[in-house]
Amino acid sequence: MKSNRAWAIIVMALAVSIESSEAQPPKPIDGERFRGEWLGTIREKVTGECSMDEDPVDFIVDLKVANDGVLRARTARGKNFEREDEPWEGIVTDSGEVKVTTMQYAICNDKPRKYELKLTGKITSEGATDVLTLEGHNDACPDMGCSSTRLYVLRKRGKASDGRLTMQ
C-alpha cells in the first residue's frame, strides 16, 4: 500500500513539474547580438529519386531578432545575391537554438508547387565570429520522389545591412 502511494506521489510531482515547465514564458534574449547580415552557402544533399544541383550556392540573410526571440529575415542567393528568396520567420532561444519557416517553390511535372520549408539549427561561436547553421528536409516534389536535405551555414558579417536587402 505504501509503495502505491509513493508511486502516486512521484507521478503527481512529475506531472506538476512538466506542467510548470511548459507554462514558463520564453527567456528574453539579446536580439541585437543576432541582428545584421549573415553570409554563407546553401547545400542540397539529394535524398530522393530526382537529380538536383548539389553545388553550394552563395546566400545572404538580413536578420532581425527582437528581444522576445521573434526572428524575421530577408534573404537572397546567387553569385551576386541577384535572386531574392522568400522571407524567413521564426524564433531564436536564449541558448541560440533557431527554428525558421519559409515558403519555397518548385516545378513538378510542369506544374508549379508552393510549399513550406522548416529549418532547425543553432547559432554558435567560432572565435569572434557567430555562425548560424540550419538544416531541414526539402520535399520539393513528393509525387516525383524529389527531396533533399538542405543545409545553410552562415557567418555573421556585421550589425546592419549594406542595402542589398531591405526589411519590410
Q: Which residue type, as a one-letter code, is found at position 83?
A: R
Cell 541585437, residue? 32
Its CATH class, for the domain covering 31-158, is mainly beta
Q: Say yes or no to pLDDT of 12 above 70.
A: no
Cell 510549399, residue? 115
CA angle 121, 143, 135 (to 5 degrees): 5
pLDDT tens, residue by residue, 139-159: 999 999 999 999 999 999 865
Torsion of CA 157, 129, 62, 146, to 10 degrees: 120
Number of H helices and number of E strands within the chain? 2, 8
Q: What is the pLDDT of residue 68?
A: 92
Q: How far apart are CA 56 and CA 159, in angstroms?
A: 25
Residue 110, classed as helix, strand or coil, is coil
What residue segments make up the domains of the chain, in order of their start? 31-158
Cell 540550419, residue? 134
The H or E element that residue 53 is part of is none
CA angle 133, 134, 139 (to 5 degrees): 150
pLDDT tens, residue by residue, 39-95: 999 999 998 888 777 788 899 999 999 999 999 999 988 888 878 888 999 999 988
Q: pLDDT > 90: what percent of the chain?
A: 51
What does each C-alpha distance from 31 to 36, 51, 141 come to in angstroms?
Answer: 10, 39, 36
